[in-house]
Amino acid sequence: MKKLLIILLCLFVISVLAALGAAVGAYKYFSRDLPRIATMKDYRPALVSQVFSEDGQLIGEFFVERRYPVDLSAVAPVMIDAILAAEDDRFFEHQGISLWSIVRAAFANLRSREIRQGGSTITQQVVKSLLLTPERSYTRKIKEAILATRIEQSLAKEDILTLYLNQIYFGRGAYGVEAAARVFFDKPASALNLVEASYLAALPKAPSFYSRLDRARERQHYVLQRMAELDRISPEQLAQALATDPQFRKAQNVTLSAAPHFVEFVRRELEKTYGADVLYKEGLRVETTLNLERQRAADAAVALGMENYETRQKKADAEGRVQAALVSLDPYSGSIFAMVGGRDYHESQFNRAVQAKRQPGSSFKPIIYAAALDKGYTAASIIVDSPVVFEAGSLRRRTFWEPQNYDRKFMGPITLRKALTLSRNVVTVKILQDIGIDYALGYARALGLDGDYTHGLSLALGSCGVSLINLVKAYGAFCAEGVYAEPVAITRIVNRDGVEIARNRPKLVSALSPQTAYIMTTLLQSVVEEGTGKKVRALNRPCAGKTGTTNDVRDAWFIGYTPDVVTGVWVGFDDLRPLGRSETGAVAAAPIWLDFMQKVYTDEPVRSFRIPDGLVFERINPKTGYAPQSKSEPAIFECFKEGTQPIRFIPAPLTTVFAN
């Protein structure tokens, strides 16, 4: 008997040792190539990149996983209680795995004849989400258990719970509790109440299954009952919560609300510079130049302009509706204050302010006139507005072009100022022929005006393709004493760690002299005071600008500026249909510009354009361009660069005139 006991004892010891050996061997086997727990301390999930206006208001978000990381202190305590009741009520007691939870879940599932509870702890779910693949196998479950115990030894319980709350998926594209609170209830996680928290706690188990409200409500009731069983809520709170429906509030898509074309413009710039992974996953904070108040004014002005156009033309086609674009810049820094790329971003994401290249018509003429001022012309130069025919082609195939003025009339000799004020086509063509097409094209490019140019005299009438934002930039040089600023949308970028990775400073280019720029400003002021831009005189402050209308009235423009803002407006159809009779730049585009600028200057003091050194003001006869020879002659003050003012003619004495 004693011998048998010894044998049995030996067998028991051997069995225990074998089991231990097997366990150790299994542990070593399944521990091979397991992810390092250290990576948990460097948890860097995909985060939302956010775009802000100049005053810090959120205007756009870019993401693959909508997630906003938060600390436990930023989560409502009732939300933490609800999650623990739903997923792991012994979380603060176990060491990564819970045999009790497994047994309890098994019995609960047997009673309900369906899988209502899981045996995985929150720590195991963190492991599955962050370190392992989602495959269903015993091997993965064993690895999951090993890693869970290791994590418990490496991280504090609060850190594990924080990881979980920031990582889990709730459905509707919401990753983490903060995103879920915003997506479902349009509030932060810190403001969730019992009904909302219990509803959200019901979702992570199977977000797609519980996307149906009836299923989610059933699971929510289970969560509430578990909270009551665990004494996390009182019977009265339970009864009230069971009788209360969640009040869902769909969060507004900020990317599509405030300034969608501008935000898309920013997105393209970010993706081009940093790549898609950084943009959509690295939680950038992007600070921009957008002025929300001016953006709202721009949206309203464009909407009203489109409504007025359709009233005038008595048409409002659902398809192929008339479009408009607006860009407003700071001429000294290039900061984009407002951008409208079309009348409705939901209908069309095409940004007509940036992506479209359309013929500018007469709004291109100031480029030609500025080039002429630097080629020997003055504002008082006389050019004859008369018929002219240009011949082109070869001997076998000759072509002729006879440019016409808009009114089909000719005014004879007129000053350069009057020619631009009244937008005389023939005079502009003659000036271009004199200064040279190549010179004018070089001048345009020096102003930063990249376009699709044709090498012909029709360039004088804007027969090229330019973008609105580029033309606005060029006009900015007239305002800013000859210096244009590249348009800037982004001022500063900060990464997820709070480190500044980019700060954009104005990129300034000196394109023409301050004297030429100021004379151009005075010429464009005449356009507003006496010419095709008279409608914007209602701004009641110094401003300069030019209308533009293309052949068959397919494009209508107005580009104008005050001493501190330059704004451009374009109106047209995407399919190049004519806008209709009389829909010139003065009729279709200028009123939108005026409406916007009036809102910009609601309470702003009046400023005048600064006069640079090197200029003189002389009296001239506006009919001859020379100094008046008598007091009876008409006379105006004209602006000249020093040394270019006209010669003063002194009448000869009468005795000399009548001498033999």
Q: What is the pLDDT of residues 155-194, one digit of tens each?
A: 889 998 999 999 999 999 999 999 999 999 999 999 999 9
Average pLDDT over residues 230-252: 92
pLDDT of residue 164: 92
Please state, in angstroms and rounded to a whole number, the distance separating the CA atoms of residues 234 and 543.
70
Per cent of the chain over pLDDT 90 is: 70
Question: Using the 8-state DSSP alphabet, how is residue 537 labeled?
Answer: G
pLDDT of residue 254: 82
How does the average pLDDT of the chain come out, rounded? 88
Average pLDDT over residues 332-353: 96
Average pLDDT over residues 645-651: 64
pLDDT of residue 356: 96
Q: What is the pLDDT of residues 308-320, one digit of tens each?
A: 999 998 875 656 7
Of the candidate ranges 16-20, 281-285, 328-332, the one whose mean pLDDT is the lowest: 16-20
Chain centroid, CA 620 distance in Å: 49
Nearest to 362 by CA among 322, 421, 446, 434: 421
- Pairing of β 412-415 and β 390-393: unpaired
Which is more confidently placed, 429 or 401?
429
pLDDT of residue 32: 47
pLDDT of residue 650: 46
Average pLDDT over residues 240-261: 88
pLDDT of residue 143: 62
Of the listed 87, 264, 282, 481, which one is catalytic?
87
String of DSSP letters for 156-225: -HHHHHHHHHHH-EEETTEESHHHHHHHHHSS-GGG--HHHHHHHHTSTT-TTGGGSHHHHHHHHHHHHH
> Which residues, 6+ apart, have CB-to-CB distance to 416 below 8 Å?
369, 372, 377, 378, 379, 380, 381, 382, 383, 427, 431, 523
Please state, in angstroms and rounded to a whole number, the distance separating the CA atoms of residues 498 and 490.
17
pLDDT band at 653 (very low <50, low <70, confident <90, very high): very low
Of the candidate ranges 140-144, 373-377, 447-451, 595-599, the one whose mean pLDDT is the lowest: 140-144
Per cent of the chain over pLDDT 70 is: 84
Which is more confidently placed, 347 or 519?
519
Please state, in angstroms and rounded to a whole number, the distance separating the CA atoms of residues 508 and 480.
10
pLDDT at 489 over 60: yes
Average pLDDT over residues 351-361: 97
Nearest to 592 by CA among 260, 352, 309: 309
The answer to whether 362 is a known catalytic residue is yes
Please state, in angstroms and rounded to a whole number, the distance separating the CA atoms of residues 501 and 584.
46
Please state, in angstroms and rounded to a whole number, the distance separating the CA atoms of residues 184 and 646.
74
pLDDT at 649 over 70: no
Of the listed 333, 362, 381, 467, which one is catalytic?
362
Which is more confidently placed, 358 or 648?
358
Nearest to 442 by CA among 393, 512, 391, 386: 512
Q: Which helix (H) or strand (E) holds 454?
A: none
pLDDT at 597 over 70: yes
Instruction: Give me the domains of the chain, ranges plus CATH numbers.
Output: 69-242 (1.10.3810.10), 361-449 (3.40.710.10), 615-657 (no CATH)
Q: Check: CB of residue 310 under 8 Å from CB of residue 589.
A: no
Please state, in angstroms and rounded to a whole number, the distance separating the CA atoms of residues 84 and 82.
6
Which is more confidently placed, 353 or 96?
353
The answer to whether 87 is a known catalytic residue is yes
